[in-house]
Structure 1
Amino acid sequence: MTGQPSDRKSGLTTGEPAIVSASIMSRLLSCVALLLLALVPRPATAQSAADVAAARELFIEGAALAKTGRWSEARDRYQRSLALKRAAITRYSLGVAQMSTGALVEALESFRAFVREPDSNTSAPYRGPATDAITELEQRVGRLTIVIAPAEIDGLEVWLDGEAVPVAALGRPRLVNPGTHTLSAVAPGYLRQASELTMPEGGSQQLAITLAPAPSDPSPLLDEHEPPDPGAADPGGFPVLPVVLLGGGAALLTVAIGVGVAGLSQAQDAPSSEGDEADDARTKALVADVLGGGGIVTAGVGLVLLLIHSNDATPEPGAVGLWTAGSVAGLEVSF
């Protein structure tokens, strides 16, 4: 972004611009006050009477707001009135409100449109003040030249303060209001770029943006570094299920042995092979057999799973594995 202060001269001596500006504004305000008494021109036949009546009411509201210095609200009323009924007086009044709210470019175009209107008894008294306002505003508006590189990009889109700028308007001075402006641009195959500048009154600057090519599609590179699937089995991990089954089987066998020993002791102490004590001893022996069988089956399943896991996995430090040598098998822990 480059900034070049304007070297245009006003042609006036020191202090004179402020005096002339105040004089012009005074005349404009006087004209606005007179507009309260102005009649809206006769409507065209294509417009409804209701729309013309609404335009007249909005115009009167705008003039009353302007008299009290509420220019933003007056500007809104004039814009709405003009949308309903095109009238030279309304356009002139809108230009005054725009100028008073800092919308200098919009005011300049409103006054230019007003002076192009045919003279009438209503609008003739305001032609002089409008011409003076045009002369002043042409000195106060900023001129911004937008340059986008590389040139002639297909599909180029440019925005200034959120409003689209036609490609045909690039490279030429563009009227802007004094203040801060944001320029952004984008095109297919290029990254979006944005830049800001502050335009002084009467300034002339250039704002350049160079679009950088967008990076190529990185998706093929991601395949080589794709993270592992969290749900995939890890063959080298700790064999949780086999170890749990082995432990559970061993616990059942331990309980079975305890219950069996208790039943055997109770059977030896029983006075006879019949009676309650003998029955309890037999019950404990049966429970011990069931628990022992369950423990053997559970431990056997765990042992088989551990053997399968040990054959498929590479031992890691701390991993528990199964070793076999002929008819002998055992557990080992890797360090």
Structure 2
Amino acid sequence: MAETTTSPLGRGLLAAPSLQLADTRRGAGRAPGMSAVAGLASAVAVILGGSAARAQEPARDPVAAEALFKAARALVDKGDYAAGCPKFEASLALNPSASTMINLARCHEREGKLATAWHDYNRALVLNRETAGEQRRRSLEEIAQKEIAALEPRMPKLSIVVERAPSGVEVQRDGTTLPAAALGEPLPIDPGPHEIRASAPGHQTEARAITLAEGQTETVALTLRPVAAAGAAAAPAKASEAPGGGGVPAWAWASGAAGIALVGASVGFLIDDLSAISALRESCREVPGGTYCKPGYDFAADNARKNRDLGLFVGLGGAGLVAMGVAVYGIVRSDGDKESAPAQGAVALPWIAPSGAGASISGSF
């Protein structure tokens, strides 16, 4: 009969099954010939498969497992689950048993890992087939079945769907790859945050984060877009549009900016021109036979400044207006014919010379 003690979980902790020795005399009545054949077959099996079995099956140590189980029970009875639960896990690794598996399931349930605990209880049912004693085996089965029934309505379930799944698609849930047959099925999962990631050759990877509560059932639908299609959609915008341009060609914005700068510079030269004219009027006057200026006043410098500033004002102002006109043309054209190919570009190039200034426009419209 199973031994129980009260735990903070409100359930009894299960005692480990007592260690038993296997009966080695079961084949004592066999015929000598059959025994020889059986011995030869056993020897061949040991030679061919012994090393592989040792590599695949973990080493068992029932004595150490029993000690770890008792140590875990003592810690959990004191409420120290952080130290006790890992010892249940270590005991299970050394000697799998249904009772140890059930105790470990209760540890996972206490941590809020409901789907993990549900899996542990189901595994305990499998391990219980090897439990010695019909009464104890039946008791452990009843406990596991009861816990499974209590957990099922509390477990969150997550269904992952890839719409129009491309060839070679791979879906990962919390870093674990799911088989294709698992897609679309509501699978049990622990409450809390989870990450879903889907990828396929030639397609953009899509990731999604989701947080599930107890009893919640959710479906995450993912759609993978081809990389080529995504790149083609983004390329025209980068090539022909300025940031925030709304489809207006980049050269139109550049031409407009240059026009504003040229007009601003021309206004500056106009102000300087008016200043030179004012200085000339205050310092010089017309007299019979020529012009008279105040002694020490440099008439020639202000007169040259006046003539230069006037030429720059006219040249730069004209170039600025032309550049702004080109910008307006580009904006109007992009709004009126967005489906047509963008113009190759028109660029206003200002020039300044000692005798004046202007702008040349090159490109195609």
**CA-to-aligned-CA distance 1:153-207 (integer Å, 9 cap, x gap):** 4233445577543223346674x26868979574546977888887759xxx8x6
User: Which TM-score applies when normalising by structure 2?
Assistant: 0.47
1:214-233 superposed matches below 5 A: 214=225, 216-217=229-230, 218-219=233-234, 222=237, 223=240, 225-226=247-248, 228=250, 232-233=254-255
Matches within 5 A, 1:101-116: 101=111, 102=114, 103-112=116-125, 114-115=127-128
Equivalences for 1:164-183 in 2 at 5 Å?
Answer: 164-170=177-183, 174=187, 176=188
Per-residue CA deviations over 1:273-307 (Å, capped at 9, x if unaligned) read: xxxxxxx953x22x343233223223233233334
Question: Is this contact kept in 2: 1:148–1:210, CA < 8 A?
Answer: yes
The residue that corresponds to 2:346 in the other structure is none
Match of 1:31 among 14, 20, 24: 14
Looking at CA atoms only, which structure, 1 or 2, has the larger radius of gyration?
A: 1
* Cα-to-partner distance string for 1:95-130 (whole Å, 9 max, x where unaligned): 3423555443233145246436676xxx99975553
Q: Give the CA RMSD over aligned residues.
A: 5.5
- Is the 8 Å Cα contact of residues 255 and 326 (structure 2) preserved in structure 1? no
Report the equivalent of 1:302: 313
Other-structure match for 1:87: 95
Gaps of 5+ in 1: 1-21, 40-44, 47-53, 262-267, 269-279, 317-335
Secondary structure in 2 aligned to 1:250?
Answer: helix
Residue of structure 2 equivalent to 1:251 = 275
Is the 2:102–2:121 contact (alpha carbons within 8 Å) kept by the matching residues of 1?
Answer: no
Which segment drifts farther, 225-234 or 240-249?
A: 225-234
Take 2:170 and 2:104, find their aligned partners in 1: how far apart are those partners? 31
Helix, strand or coil for the counterpart of 2:274?
helix
Q: Do the aligned partners of 1:115 and 1:130 also contact (CA within 8 Å) in 2?
A: yes
**Unpaired stretches in structure 2, ≥5 consecutive residues:** 20-53, 56-63, 242-246, 286-291, 328-365
* Matched-pair contact (CA < 8 Å) for 1:158–1:165: yes
Q: Distance in 1 between matches of 2:129 and 2:158?
A: 27
2:272 maps to a residue whose letter is G
Question: 1:245: how far off?
Answer: 1.0
Task: State, as a whole percentage, how many aligned pairs show the same letter.
Answer: 15
1:289 equivalent to 2:300? Answer yes
Answer yes or no: is the 8 Å Cα contact 1:147–1:209 preserved in 2: yes
How many residue pairs align between the two structures? 250
**Contact 2:276–2:306, Cα closer than 8 Å, also in 1:** yes
How do residues 32-71 of structure 1 correspond to structure 2 at under 5 angstroms? 32=15, 62-71=72-81
Query: 1:219 is matched by which residue type in structure 2?
Result: A
Instruction: Say if 1:194 and 1:209, in contact at 8 Å, map to a contact too.
Output: no
User: What is the CA–CA distance in structure 2 between the aligned matches of 1:28 and 1:116, rounded to whole Å?
Assistant: 23
Q: Which has the higher contact order (CA 8 A, sep 6+)?
A: 1
TM-score (norm 1): 0.50
Q: Give the Cα–Cα distance (whole angstroms) in 1 for the partners of residues 176 and 322 of structure 2.
A: 69
